[in-house]
Amino acid sequence: MKDKPDLVRGWVAKAESDLFVVRQILDTPGPYDTACFHAQQAIEKFLKSVLLLYDVLAPRTHDLEEIQRLCLEVCPIPELAALDLTQITDYAVAARYDIEFWPERVALLEALSLVEEVQGIVSNIVSSESV
The CATH number covering residue 78 comes to 1.20.120.330
**pLDDT tens readout for residues 76-101:** 999 999 999 999 999 999 999 999 99
Q: Domain range holding 14?
A: 4-126
Cβ burial 12-48 (10 Å sphere, 16+ → b, else e): bebbeebbebbeebbeeeeebbbbbbbbbbbbbbbbb
In a domain? residue 88: yes
Average pLDDT over residues 56-67: 94
Question: For all residues of the chain together, what is the average pLDDT?
Answer: 95
Residue 68 has pLDDT above 90, yes or no: yes
In a domain? residue 71: yes
Q: How many helices (H) and strands (E) does the chain have?
A: 6, 0
- pTM for the full predicted model: 0.95
- Predicted confidence at residue 44, as pLDDT, reads 98
Percent of the chain with pLDDT over 70: 98
- Predicted confidence at residue 1, as pLDDT, reads 54
In a domain? residue 131: no
- Predicted confidence at residue 130, as pLDDT, reads 67
Greater model confidence, 2 or 78: 78
Select from 97, 94, 96, 67 the least CA-distant residue to 83.
67
Residue 131 has pLDDT above 70, yes or no: no
Dist. CA 94–CA 98, nearest whole Å: 5
